[in-house]
Amino acid sequence: MTTSDVIDFGNGQPSLSLLPVQALRTAADHFLAQADAAWLQYGADPGETPFRETLAEFLTRHYAAPVGASPVDAVQLMTTTGNSQALDLICTRFTRPGDTILVEEPTYFLALEVFRDHGLHVVGVPIDDEGMRPDALQEALTAHRPVLLYTIPSFQNPTGITLSAARRTAVLAACAAHDVLVVADEVYQLLDFGVAPPPSLATLDGNARVLSLGSFSKICAPGLRLGWIHGAPTLLEQCTRAGLVQSGGGLNPFTSGVMRSLITLGLLESGLASLKRVYADRAGALCDALRDAIPDAEFTAPQGGYFVWVRIPGVSAAALLEVARRAGVTFHAGRRFVTRDVYGDTLRLSFAHYDVAALVLGVERLARALATVRAQRG
């Protein structure tokens, strides 16, 4: 990038330089050398068994670190084309227009669009430093009789907050008591900066009505459009009975074959380790720059994921955004991540797309824009 380019902290995509072209070429060669035409056929409804077995083994290895996670079995996995598609499919199969669902407040703004597509009524459950507040969840379960809870338990988008182990158990118990399906969007579960988050919800006891959604978008490349749903086979059957799957066959068999080779060759593992180092450096640099340039900014340094959630007391994020655009920097205002008029003084900054120098420059521009906003207010 050049210094005249706008730095878009709203961009939640990896930098092009982090996308593993060479590794995927090696994996694709390895996969195609097997000359197995079956991978080019319509796929099996839940996805190809060899891919799901390899994925189950990979997840078991990566989920094993935290105490309390049970092993993953291939029969508990369904191949998807990523978490967005999985979420849409789950809404199709488990909800009806007009149903109420619960989400964290704030939550991933594009998930809100999926819910809108399905005519769902969305109610937010407030969070604190440990994630969703159990008292507020309990209240919402009783008051709204939702059909589903959507949660991003690890390194949440937009806040970076991780639901604590105790709360994971409490959330599952509360939803089980109300027979509410838990949909855990775990797109950042494997993207920690050194300390693994508590176990994936689908690996915990009391998980009878939990679907955990995983994706290769953040741990490999979003353009692959490949992910998985992890849950009880009876729940997965409801997903595979969808017209989409019945007509089109299992989702994305060819890419899942390439991914199987990537995993088998150890290239997913090595790529993930290096991504974590890069993102940890970038997150650290962004937080340092914020502390230096905007000392009254309030945030918690993220321990994984893509985002820093920054409150600037007394400042309207919408007003700041207008001035910031002219100063060559943009971001998503907090208001985008909620269904009510809250978080007006908060911004979401992504550190995934830019290198350290660009992140520091972006914060300098943001600080200048902030000074202008404050001067205008007098």
Ligand X SMILES: Cc1ncc(COP(=O)(O)O)c(C=O)c1O
- Residues, the chain: 378
153 interacts with ligand X by CB under 6 A: no
The nearer residue to ligand X, 94 or 307, going by C-beta atoms, is: 307
CB of 218 to ligand X, least distance (A): 7
Cβ within 8 Å of residue 92, ≥6 positions away: 118, 242, 244
108: contact with ligand X by CB under 6 A: yes
**Is the CB of 227 or the CB of 257 nearer to ligand X?**
227
- Mark 202-241 with x for binding to ligand X (rule: CB under 6 A) and - for no binding: -------------x-x----x----x--------------
Q: Could you tell me the smallest distance in angstroms from the CB atom of residue 162 to ligand X?
A: 13
- Cβ-Cβ contacts under 8 Å for 137 (sequence gap 6 or more): 102, 125, 149, 170, 171, 174
Instruction: Tell me how far, at minimum, the Cβ of 367 lies from ligand X, in Å.
Output: 26
Burial class (CB in 10 A: 0-12, 13-18, 19+), 306: buried
Query: Is the Cβ of residue 107 or residue 203 nearer to ligand X in the bound state?
Result: 107
Give the separation between CA 207 and CA 172, rounded to whole angstroms. 7
Q: Taking the complex as a whole, how short is the minimal distance between the CB of residue 147 and ligand X, in angstroms?
A: 20
Q: According to CB under 6 A, which residues from 46 to 75 bind ligand X?
A: none
Count of residues interacting with ligand X (CB under 6 A)? 13
| CA separation for the pair 91, 155 (Å, rounded) | 23
Instruction: Return the number of the residue (227 or 328) whose C-beta is nearest ligand X.
Output: 227
In the shown chain, the binding pattern of residues 316 to 345 toward ligand X, with x for contact by CB under 6 A and - for none, equals ------------------------------
Evaluate the omega torsion of the peptide bond into residue 106 and state whether it is cis, within 30 degrees of 0: yes
Q: What values do phi and psi take at 332, rounded to 5?
A: -95, 130
Answer yes or no whether residue 82 interacts with ligand X by CB under 6 A. yes
User: What are the residues binding ligand X (CB under 6 A)?
Assistant: 12, 82-84, 108, 152, 157, 185, 187, 215, 217, 222, 227
